[in-house]
Structure 1
Amino acid sequence: MEFDKVEPGPLLANINSPADLKKLDPNQLVEVCDELRDYIIETVSIHGGHFGASLGVVEMTVALHYVYDTPKDLLIWDVGHQAYGHKILTGRRENFYTNRKYGGLSGFPKRSESEYDTFGVGHSSTSISAALGMAVSRDLSDEDKKVVAVIGDGAMTAGLAFEAMNNAGAMNSDLLVILNDNCMSIDPNVGALKEYLTDITTSKTFNKVRDEIYDMLGHFKSAGEKMRKVASRLEKAVTTAITPGGLFQALGFKYYGPVDGHNVDTMRKHLEDLKDIPGPKLLHAVTVKGKGFAPAEREQTKWHAQSSPFDKITGKSLAPEKKGPKIPRYQHIFGDAIVELAEEDERIVGITPAMPSGSSLWPLMNTFPDRAFDVGIAEQHSITFAAGLAAEGKKPFAAIYSSFLQRAYDQVIHDVAIQNLPVVFCIDRAGIAGADGPTHHGLYDISYLRAVPNMIISSPLNEQELRDMMYTASKYEDDAWAIRYPRGEATGMDFRKEFQSMEIGKGECIREGEDVAVLSFGPMGNYVIEALDDLEEEGINAGHLNMRFAKPLDTQLIKQVCQTYRHIITIEDGTKLGGFGSAVAEFLADKPYHIPVTIMGVPDRIVEHGTQRELHDEVGIGPDGIKEQVRKVLKTYSLNA
Structure 2
Amino acid sequence: MILDKINSPKDLKNCSVSELETVAGEIREGLFNRLTKIGGHFGPNFGFVEATIALHYVFDSPNDKFVFDVSHQSYAHKMLTGRKAGYFDDSRFSEDSGYTNPDESEHDFFNIGHTSTSIALALGLAKGRDILGKKENIVAIIGDGSLSGGEALEALSVAGSELNSNFIVVVNDNEQAIAENHGGIYKNLKALRDSNGKAENNMFRAWGLDYIYEEKGNDISSLIAVFEKVRDSNRPVVVHIHTQKGKGYELAEKDKESWHWCMPFDRATGKPTVNFGSGESYFGMTSQYIVEKAKKDKDFVVVTPAMPMSVGLGPKERSELGGQYIDTGIAEEAAVAIASGIARSGAKPLVVTNMTFLQRAYDQISQDVCINKTPVTMLMNYSSFDGLTDVTHLGIFGLAAFTNIPNLVVLCPSSAEEYISMLDWSLDSKQKENPVLILIPGNAVSHRPADKDYSVLNRYKIEKQGEKVAILALGDFFQKGEEVASAIKEKCGFTPTLINPRFATGLDEELLHGLEKNHQLVLTLEDGILEGGFGQKIASFYGPNKMLVKNYGLKKQFYDRYNPDELLRECGMSTEQIVKDIKSLL
TM class by shorter chain equals over 0.9
Cα deviation, residue 608, structure 1: 1.0
Distance 1:254 1:100, change over 3 A: farther
Cα deviation, residue 19, structure 1: 2.0
Q: Which residue of 2 aligns with 1:176?
A: 168
- Structure-to-structure mapping, 1:358-397, within 5 angstroms: 358-362=310-314, 365-397=318-350
Q: Which residue of 1 aligns with 2:151?
A: 160
2:248 is aligned with 1:248: no
Q: Which residue of 1 aligns with 2:585?
A: 636
Q: Which one-letter code corresponds to 1:174 in the other structure?
A: N
Aligned match of 1:588 in 542, 561, 570? 542
Aligned match of 2:290 in 338, 342, 347? 338
Q: Which residue of 2 aligns with 1:347?
A: 299
Aligned match of 1:144 in 115, 135, 138? 135
Conserved 8 A contact 1:349-1:394? yes
Q: Which one-letter code corresponds to 2:66 in the other structure?
A: L
Distance 1:602 1:117, change over 3 A: same
Point out which structure has higher relative CO (alpha carbons under 8 A, 6+ apart).
Answer: 1
2:235 is aligned with 1:283: no
Runs (5+) with no aligned partner, structure 2: none
Q: Which residue of 2 aligns with 1:294?
A: 250
Cα deviation, residue 570, structure 1: 0.9
In structure 2, C-alpha distance between the alignment counterparts of 1:131 and 1:465, rounded to whole Å:
46
Q: Which residue of 2 aligns with 1:506?
A: 459
2:267 is aligned with 1:312: yes
In structure 1, C-alpha distance between the alignment counterparts of 2:297 and 2:388, rounded to whole Å:
38
Secondary structure of residue in 2 paired with 1:255: strand
Distance 1:543 1:174, change over 3 A: same
Conserved 8 A contact 1:520-1:547? yes
- Structure-to-structure mapping, 1:471-620, within 5 angstroms: 471-475=424-428, 476-487=431-442, 490-493=443-446, 500-502=452-454, 504-539=457-492, 541-590=495-544, 593-620=545-572
In structure 2, C-alpha distance between the alignment counterparts of 1:291 and 1:102, rounded to whole Å:
23
Secondary structure of residue in 1 paired with 2:309: coil
Q: Which residue of 1 aligns with 2:27?
A: 36
Conserved 8 A contact 1:125-1:156? yes
Conserved 8 A contact 1:421-1:478? yes
Q: Which one-letter code corresponds to 1:196 in the other structure?
A: N
Conserved 8 A contact 1:432-1:612? yes
2:383 is aligned with 1:427: no
Cα deviation, residue 493, structure 1: 3.8
Distance 1:104 1:560, change over 3 A: farther
In structure 2, C-alpha distance between the alignment counterparts of 1:201 and 1:322, rounded to whole Å:
41
Cα deviation, residue 446, structure 1: 1.8
Distance 1:607 1:436, change over 3 A: closer
In structure 1, C-alpha distance between the alignment counterparts of 2:76 and 2:192, rounded to whole Å:
28
**Matched length:** 580
- Structure-to-structure mapping, 1:180-195, within 5 angstroms: 180-195=172-187
Q: Which residue of 2 aligns with 1:235?
A: none
Distance 1:559 1:499, change over 3 A: closer
In structure 2, C-alpha distance between the alignment counterparts of 1:80 and 1:414, rounded to whole Å:
31
In structure 2, C-alpha distance between the alignment counterparts of 1:101 and 1:327, rounded to whole Å:
35
Distance 1:531 1:51, change over 3 A: farther
In structure 1, C-alpha distance between the alignment counterparts of 2:180 and 2:114, rounded to whole Å:
17
Deviation sequence 1:87-112 (CA, Å, 0-9, x none): 12111121347999996422111222
Secondary structure of residue in 1 paired with 2:215: strand
Distance 1:460 1:628, change over 3 A: same
In structure 2, C-alpha distance between the alignment counterparts of 1:21 and 1:617, rounded to whole Å:
46
Q: Which residue of 2 aligns with 1:259?
A: 215
Which of structures 1 and 2 has the bigger CA Rg?
Answer: 1
Cα deviation, residue 505, structure 1: 2.1
In structure 2, C-alpha distance between the alignment counterparts of 1:394 and 1:364, rounded to whole Å:
20
2:359 is aligned with 1:406: yes
- Sequence identity (%): 32
Aligned match of 1:446 in 381, 399, 414? 399
In structure 1, C-alpha distance between the alignment counterparts of 2:566 and 2:249, rounded to whole Å:
32
In structure 1, C-alpha distance between the alignment counterparts of 2:463 and 2:381, rounded to whole Å:
25
- Structure-to-structure mapping, 1:59-208, within 5 angstroms: 59-96=50-87, 104-170=95-161, 171-203=163-195, 207=196
In structure 2, C-alpha distance between the alignment counterparts of 1:294 and 1:444, rounded to whole Å:
39
Conserved 8 A contact 1:334-1:466? no
Q: Which one-letter code corresponds to 1:286 in the other structure?
A: H
In structure 2, C-alpha distance between the alignment counterparts of 1:523 and 1:611, rounded to whole Å:
18
In structure 2, C-alpha distance between the alignment counterparts of 1:506 and 1:337, rounded to whole Å:
25
Q: Which one-letter code corresponds to 2:258 in the other structure?
A: K
Cα deviation, residue 619, structure 1: 3.4
Cα deviation, residue 597, structure 1: 1.5
Secondary structure of residue in 1 paired with 2:414: coil
Structure 1, 85-94 or 131-140: larger mean CA deviation:
85-94
Secondary structure of residue in 2 paired with 1:545: strand
Secondary structure of residue in 2 paired with 1:111: coil
